[in-house]
Structure 1
């Protein structure tokens, strides 16, 4: 299974990890019918064991959790990822503190959204993460840039890399790197999803990248988003 595997024909299997049972039950009831909750965990240790056992596609993960060695959500990712290589992690937290955002992103989270999001928004974000997108609440963009060590301005090397891409490919690259799905990019640029796919393939080839996740990291490092 690859990062870009779409989950459109069957419910997306997820695990909810949060130490507040009332939040877990509320989130479970608010998720749409395209999401199937396999299980819930309340601590670092429970989460690592459950994710390894159930192998969900996406884990909806709180940042601050009891148990383990005190590393919270970031520790869950580091400990569970080796045993669940096809599982992706979406942080879902009340916190928008820079240190929390940076911690889970560096641990390997594919997204970070705040708990002010609705059930529909969480469901949509989970599906986007499952399809290989990186999803972040807009106000967290600066922290995400910091997490990838972005530097101000475009360097000469970056300019040279961008020159490899056509104007249209650059447009597609920025939208894809921001986490938009192919259909969303197509609608924004008034082209077909198939054309978007062709442009993405060309961008990855020209930049010598292998996935949309790598493209997002590449763009973040160069402060192109």
Structure 2
């Protein structure tokens, strides 16, 4: 049986030492391959098109084009739907993290995260899931979503969903996995995944991270839950 293809990663950070440290760590893993390094957001976008990585580790603060705008450009480029962006940030109170999730990032990680946490994040995002469990994600989304309600009412935004899909979306907003949602609603994990997929399609969400944003911004999930 042939081994699974390696997860291709692009490192986007203007600090050479940061990129070097990540590369040394990732090169030790049999299932991960660094296929390019970028020092600006523009270079990151170019590499996303040419190297076709599975994951881009994207620093927020970069010259020429910052990580948020670079993320939006990648997410909005036809043919790059499979390229997932993992935002790297130094501060867990960085409001830009919320903007990054809106722009199309699949999650974020603090730069001081341990090696195991970084490797886990890359594998989770490469598998097509969103990284919803870092220690600051829920607080950040709740904090900033409360300040940025959609102009349309929650009823208007969520009217395309069935009652069951609303229930599932609320639980996604609380950071639950498909297994946890299934247990809470007495559904199989496969059925829960189907409802999540349908909600994602109807709401035009790129991935689960954007579903979390929608759940908070429409008030379906609140920070104190």
How many residues get paired?
208
Tell me by how many angstroms 1:185 deviates.
5.3
Q: Are residue 117 (structure 1) and residue 109 (structure 2) matched?
A: no
Aligned counterpart, 2:43: 46
Matches within 5 A, 1:77-88: 77-81=71-75, 82=77, 85-86=80-81, 87-88=83-84
Provide TM-score, normalisation by structure 1.
0.69
| Distance change >3 Å, CA 186–CA 55, structure 1 → 2 | same
Tell me by how many angstroms 1:107 deviates.
2.9
Tell me by how many angstroms 1:147 deviates.
4.8
Kindly indicate whether the alpha-carbon contact (under 8 Å) linking 2:54 and 2:84 is maintained by their aligned counterparts in 1: yes
Aligned counterpart, 1:104: 100
Matches within 5 A, 1:186-201: 192-200=188-196
Q: Are residue 137 (structure 1) and residue 134 (structure 2) matched?
A: yes
Q: Which moved more, 1:110-119 or 1:182-191?
A: 182-191
Match of 2:211 among 201, 206, 215: 215
Q: Are residue 57 (structure 1) and residue 54 (structure 2) matched?
A: yes
Kindly indicate whether the alpha-carbon contact (under 8 Å) linking 1:62 and 1:92 is maintained by their aligned counterparts in 2: yes
Instruction: Give unmatched runs, 5+ long, in structure 2.
Output: none
Deviation above 4 Å: which 4+ runs of structure 1? Answer: 147-151, 178-181, 183-192
Kindly indicate whether the alpha-carbon contact (under 8 Å) linking 1:64 and 1:72 is maintained by their aligned counterparts in 2: yes
Q: Measure the CA separation in 2 of the matches of 1:164 and 1:100.
A: 32
Match of 1:74 among 47, 61, 68: 68
Q: Measure the CA separation in 2 of the matches of 1:28 and 1:157.
A: 46
| Distance change >3 Å, CA 133–CA 80, structure 1 → 2 | closer
| Distance change >3 Å, CA 79–CA 9, structure 1 → 2 | same
Q: Which moved more, 1:56-65 or 1:212-221?
A: 212-221
Match of 1:19 among 10, 14, 18: 14
Aligned counterpart, 1:4: none
RMSD: 3.8
Q: Measure the CA separation in 1 of the matches of 2:170 and 2:71.
A: 27
| Distance change >3 Å, CA 208–CA 17, structure 1 → 2 | closer
| Distance change >3 Å, CA 115–CA 190, structure 1 → 2 | farther
| Distance change >3 Å, CA 222–CA 197, structure 1 → 2 | same
| Distance change >3 Å, CA 191–CA 25, structure 1 → 2 | farther
Aligned counterpart, 2:32: 35
